[in-house]
Amino acid sequence: MKRTALAVVAVVVFVGGIVAAFLVLGGDETAAPVPTTTTEPPPSTTTTAPPTFPLTGLPVGDAAVADRPALVVKVDNSPKAAGRQAGLAVADLVYVEGVEGGATRLAVVFHSTDSDVGPVRSARTSDVDLTANLNRPLFAYSGGQQGVLDQVREASVVDLGYDVRPDDYQVRGEGVLRFYVDTPAFFGLAPDDAGPPQPLFAFRSDGEEATADGAEDSAGVRLSYGGEADTQVRYEVVPEGWVRFQADMPSVDAAGTPIVPTNVIVQFTEYPDSGFVDVNGAPSPEAVTVGEGDAWVFTGGKVVRGRWSRPEPGAPTAYTDGAGAPIELTPGRTWIELAPVDSASTL
């Protein structure tokens, strides 16, 4: 009797299993079991931004060029030099310094490009602090007062002045505007311990609009260096950047190429007496580039009225907007006018 009951139970379980399997398979006794699959996550990818030159934010095309130091060349900017200035249109960065009697002189900085440059002129005390954040740049100039020369030779530069390397300067004609340099030749004089410059600016992405706090559309700027010479400068906006004028004449280089920097910074600067005089006995002012003050940054067709600050000579100058954030420049070449305080007005 017990064996019969167990047999009945076994049959019921067996039949129930068949029915359950039939129901699970949707009534299709021939259906294959569903295979199990595992989905592999997609491989992770990281995008590394291409390297850019520290002074322009433009892409590096030659790593050997990016590894070389900066070269600073002092260039005449008097009316007599008009039409004779070489290299200005392709320099990475140009500082305009006030000198004696409201005249100006240029500190022209090369790193990513090469050019013939000149007319080369003398150094000033302003150059000592101005060049101190370029990581011991090569410095080309044609003389100066002995006290100025002493300061230059103690500064954080590689001294390649005419007095040190006279055979490396090209001489064209006579007078004070006769000296020129060839940048590849001067880069070839770099010592092994001279490295590339640190980044001096923050840059926007290519094509990104300038959106700094307080940015507004601008037609340009006009400024004056005062004094007897009273150098007058103007920049006007164009799609490529800002066309430069001096004494109401377009600024062009020796090849006739217009000077159109991508960015212009008007850095309002104090000019105390340096304690030195020029060859004519005129007091030589010194641009104060360590400290802080007002700055107008012209970039991407806009002007941002902000501040500049630099705590020590070796530090980059920070340019900040009304909210205290860094003002980002358009990748490209930049001219910085070290303008006297209250010397400028927008167009």
CATH of the domain at 298: 3.50.90.10
Helix (H) or strand (E) holding 273: strand 273-277
The β-bridge partners of 334 are: 93, 263
Cβ-Cβ contacts under 8 Å for 67 (sequence gap 6 or more)? 195, 196
Distance CA 32, CA 54 (A): 65
Query: What average pLDDT score do residues 286-311 get?
Result: 98
pLDDT band at 16 (very low <50, low <70, confident <90, very high): very low
Give the residue carrying structure tokens 């003398």: 122
Is the confidence at residue 294, as pLDDT, over 80? yes
| 56 neighbors 112 (Cβ within 8 angstroms) | yes
Q: What is the pLDDT of residue 280?
A: 78
Tell me whether residue 305 is in a domain.
yes
Asked if 199 and 325 touch (Cβ cutoff 8 Å), the reply is no
CA distance 288 to 223: 18
pLDDT per residue as tens digits for the range 206-216: 889 999 999 99
232-274: per-residue pLDDT in tens?
A: 999 999 999 999 999 999 999 999 999 999 999 999 999 999 9
CB atoms inside a 10 Å sphere around CB 336 = 27
How many domains in the chain?
A: 1
**Section 44-71 average pLDDT:** 89
Contacts of 235 (CB under 8 A, 6+ apart): 220, 221, 242, 243, 244, 245, 264, 298
**Does residue 161 lie within any of the structural domains?**
yes
Q: Which residues of 83-119 are buried (b: 16+ CB within 10 A; e: fewer)?
A: ebbbbbbbbbbbbbbbbbbbbbbbbbbbbbbbbbbbb
Q: Is residue 58 assigned to a domain? A: no
pLDDT value at position 43? 59
Mean pLDDT of 336-347: 97
Q: How far apart are CA 21 and CA 32, in angstroms?
A: 12
Could you tell me if residue 37 is inside a domain? no
Q: Is residue 28 part of a domain?
A: no
**pLDDT-derived band at 40, boundaries 50, 70, 90:** low
Q: 11 lies in a domain?
A: no
> Average pLDDT in the 113-120 region?
98
Range of the structural domain that residue 129 is part of: 63-346
Report the C-alpha dihedral over residues 135, 154, 314, 287, rounded to 10 degrees. Answer: -120
